[in-house]
Amino acid sequence: MIQLHDYPLSGNCFKVRFLMDQLDLDYQSTLVDFYPGYEHKSPRFLKINPLGQLPVIEDNGQTIRDAQAILVYLATAYDTSGTWFPRDRQGEIYQWLAFADELTGSISAARLHDAMFYSLDVAKARARGTKLLRIVDEHLWFTEKDGHDWLVPLPHPTIADVACLPYIALAEEGGIDLAPYPSVARWMERFMRLEKFKPMPGMMPLEMPKETP
Amino acid sequence: MKPDSFTHSQWYAIGRIGDFEGANAKPVRLLSQDLTVNNSAGVLSVADAEGRSLQSQIRYGHLWTTLSDNPRPLYDMPEFDEPDRRLVTAGGVGVRCSGLRCVENFLDMAHFPFVHTDILGVEDHSTVENYDVSMDADKDEIWATKCKFFQPLASAAATGGQMTEYKYRVPHPYSTILYKTCPIRENVWDLVGLFIQPVEEDECIVHSFILVFDEDNTDTGLLHFQQNIFLQDRMILENQVPRKLPLDPRWELPTRADASSIAYRRWLKANELQWGIALFDKAA
What is the count of structural domains for chain B?
2
| Contact across the interface for A36 and B91, Cβ inside 8 Å | yes
Chain A residue numbers touching B229 (CB-CB < 8 A): 201
Complex ipTM over 0.95: no
| Chain segment A73-113, per-residue pLDDT in tens | 999 999 999 999 999 999 999 999 999 999 999 999 999 99
Q: What is the dihedral of CA B108, B112, B114, B117, to 10 degrees?
A: 160
| Contact across the interface for A8 and B93, Cβ inside 8 Å | no
Domain-embedded: residue B141: yes
Residue B266: HSE in the Cβ half-sphere, 13 Å Cα cutoff: 13
How far is residue B184's CA from residue A170's CA, in Å, rounded to a whole number?
35
| Contact across the interface for A37 and B19, Cβ inside 8 Å | no
How far is residue B261's CA from residue B254's CA, in Å, rounded to a whole number?
8
How far is residue A55's CA from residue A4's CA, in Å, rounded to a whole number?
7
* B157 and B199 housed in the same domain: yes
* B43 and B140 housed in the same domain: no
Of A139 and B84, the one with more pLDDT: A139
How far is residue A7's CA from residue A29's CA, in Å, rounded to a whole number?
9
pTM comes to 0.93
Q: Which of A133-142, A168-177, A202-211 has the lowest mean pLDDT?
A: A202-211
Instruction: Please tell me the predicted confidence (pLDDT) of residue A213.
Output: 46
In sequence order, the β-bridge partners of residue B207 are: B195
| Contact across the interface for A33 and B219, Cβ inside 8 Å | yes
Whether A15 and A162 have beta carbons less than 8 Å apart is answered as: yes
* B234 and B122 housed in the same domain: yes
Domain that holds residue B21: 5-65
Chain B residue numbers touching A117 (CB-CB < 8 A): 92, 94
Per-residue pLDDT of chain B (284 residues), as tens digits, is 899 999 999 999 999 999 999 888 999 999 999 999 999 988 999 999 999 999 999 999 999 999 999 999 999 999 999 989 999 999 999 999 999 999 999 999 999 998 998 889 998 889 999 999 999 999 999 999 999 998 888 888 888 888 889 999 999 999 999 999 887 888 899 999 999 999 999 999 999 999 999 988 999 999 999 999 999 999 999 999 999 999 888 888 888 899 999 999 999 999 999 999 998 876 55
Q: Which amino acid is at B37?
A: V
Mean pLDDT of A177-202: 94
How far is residue B103's CA from residue B47's CA, in Å, rounded to a whole number?
27
* B192 and B267 housed in the same domain: yes
* B19 and B104 housed in the same domain: no
Instruction: Please tell me the predicted confidence (pLDDT) of residue B282.
Output: 60
Beta-strand pair B86-89/A62-65: unpaired
Domain-embedded: residue B18: yes
Q: Name the phi and psi angles at B244, rounded to 5.
A: -85, 165
B272 CB within 8 Å of a chain A CB: no
In chain A, which residues fall in CATH 1.20.1050.10? 87-192
* B217 and B109 housed in the same domain: yes
Beta-strand pair B56-59/A62-65: unpaired
Q: Least CB-CB distance to A9: which of B92, B96, B231?
A: B231
In sequence order, the β-bridge partners of residue B55 are: none
Report the gap between the CA of B16 and the closest CA in chain A (Å). 10
Closest B-chain CA to A207: B114
Domain-embedded: residue B73: no
Q: Least CB-CB distance to B232: which of A33, A115, A201?
A: A201
CATH (one of 2.40.50.180, 3.40.50.970, 3.40.30.10, 3.40.50.720) for A2-78: 3.40.30.10
Domain-embedded: residue B72: no
* B119 and B225 housed in the same domain: yes
Q: Least CB-CB distance to B227: which of A9, A39, A175?
A: A9
Mean pLDDT of A131-159: 98
* B161 and B269 housed in the same domain: yes
| Contact across the interface for B220 and A114, Cβ inside 8 Å | no
Instruction: Please tell me the predicted confidence (pLDDT) of residue B283.
Output: 56
* B13 and B150 housed in the same domain: no
Chain B residue numbers touching A36 (CB-CB < 8 A): 16, 18-19, 89-92
Q: Which amino acid is at B226?
A: Q
Report the gap between the CA of B163 and the closest CA in chain A (Å). 24
Q: Least CB-CB distance to A204: which of B90, B95, B235?
A: B235
* B31 and B92 housed in the same domain: no
* B24 and B113 housed in the same domain: no
B96 CB within 8 Å of a chain A CB: yes
How far is residue A212's CA from residue B131's CA, in Å, rounded to a whole number?
40
Mean pLDDT of A43-55: 98
Report the gap between the CA of B167 and the closest CA in chain A (Å). 25
| Contact across the interface for B96 and A114, Cβ inside 8 Å | yes
| Contact across the interface for B19 and A39, Cβ inside 8 Å | no
Chain A residue numbers touching B227 (CB-CB < 8 A): 8-9, 35, 201
Q: Name the phi and psi angles at B181, rounded to 5.
A: -50, 130
What three-state secondary structure class fits A67?
Answer: helix
CB-neighbour burial class of residue A7 (10 A; exposed 0-12, middle 13-18, buried 19+): buried
| Chain segment B111-127, per-residue pLDDT in tens | 999 899 888 999 888 99
Helix axes A122-145, A159-169, angle to 10 degrees: 130
| Contact across the interface for A9 and B228, Cβ inside 8 Å | yes
Q: What is the CATH number of the domain that holds B148?
A: 3.90.380.10
Reply yes or no on whether the pLDDT at A205 is more than 70. Answer: no
Reply yes or no on whether the pLDDT at A210 is more than 70. Answer: no
Q: Which CATH architecture has domain A87-192?
A: Up-down Bundle (1.20)
Query: A175 CB contacts (<8 Å, ≥6 apart)?
Result: A110, A114, A122, A126, B96
Q: Least CB-CB distance to A35: which of B91, B96, B234?
A: B91
Residue A18: which of A135, A121, A161, A180 has the closest Cα? A161
* B91 and B49 housed in the same domain: no
| Contact across the interface for A201 and B91, Cβ inside 8 Å | no
Q: Name the phi and psi angles at B166, rounded to 5.
A: -125, 150
B235 CB within 8 Å of a chain A CB: yes
A/B interface, count of CB pairs below 8 Å: 61
